[in-house]
Amino acid sequence: MLIRTHVGVSLDGFMATPAGLPTWDLMPTFGAGSHGYAELMEQCGAVIVGRTSFDQGFEDWLKGWPWPGKPVYVLTSRPLPETAAEMGVVASQGGPVGIVAQVRASGLEKDVQLLGGPSTVRAFLEAGALDRLGMVVLPVLLGTGIPLFATEPTAFSQEAWTASLAAPAATNPRSRLVLEHQQAFPDGAIHLVYRPESRRDR
């Protein structure tokens, strides 16, 4: 049982426009099941949804439930609407590690789709609870929007560079990743699936 994301990002790193429209939706070639999504749905037997994504999508999902027969867990500290409970949606307060334990305890054999925005993806990454970081790099530049990764940008400074040459410090990346799968699509989108190096498959 592996926890997998499948997020679409622009080449400059945005998951969505400033208004929250997924970058996917800017691609005329994007459709139901495209860009590896159908394969992901095949692999996964349950879904974990971040609360922001749940609130953004729920009304729309009610028009045609995207995960019939699959348990849906929502990571949240607030109660869900009553209609959600009627659809069998489970609210989980345990955070990334707790929710993964909860899904595992259910005896699920297939993988789990993690559906969420930047804070959900990052929370799972940081908790060591994400097994596969799957993303589709879309061939567009947005320039502005909601980025997948938090950025703490610095500008180049000759002084900082000179100082670092005089006193070299260990520079390790925050984390290393292992590329497990890559596939280019005819529209120029690229599907990349990474395993955080710290993860071992269970």
DSSP 8-state secondary structure symbol assigned to residue 18: T
Token reading at 99: 């929710």
**How many residues sit close enough to a second copy to count as binding (CB under 8 A)?**
60
Q: Least separation, in Å, of the C-beta of 19 and a second copy?
A: 4
Chain positions 121 to 140 lying near a second copy, rule: CB under 8 A, are 125, 137, 139-140
For residue 158, the minimal CB distance to a second copy (Å) is 6
Residue 159: which H helix or E strand, with range? helix 158-166
Contact call for residue 69 and a second copy (CB under 8 A):
no
Q: Compute how many other C-beta atoms are within 10 angstroms of the C-beta atom of residue 85.
A: 12
Q: How far is the CB of 32 from a second copy (least distance, A)?
A: 20
N- to C-terminal Cα separation, the chain: 7
Between CA 62 and CA 51 the distance in angstroms is 16
Q: Residues 144, 198, 200, 202: which binds a second copy (CB under 8 A)? A: 144
Q: Are the C-beta atoms of residues 199 and 124 closer than 8 Å to each other? A: no
Distances (CA, A) of 67 to 33, 45, 99, 113, 115: 13, 9, 18, 11, 12
Q: Which of 36, 45, 96, 117 binds a second copy (CB under 8 A)?
A: 117
Give the nearest distance from C-beta 186 to a second copy in angstroms: 10
Binding mask 2-41 for a second copy (x = CB under 8 A): --------xxxxx-xxxxxx---xx---------------
Spatial CA neighbour of 114 closest among 55, 47, 180, 65: 47
Measured in degrees and rounded to the nearest 5, phi and psi for residue 121 equal -60, -45
Binding range to a second copy, per CB under 8 A, among 32-40, 74-82, 107-115, 175-183:
175-183
Contact 114, 132 (CB under 8 A): no
Residues near a second copy (CB under 8 A) are: 10-14, 16-21, 25-26, 52, 55-56, 117, 125, 137, 139-158, 160-161, 163-164, 169, 171-179, 182, 184, 188-190, 192, 194
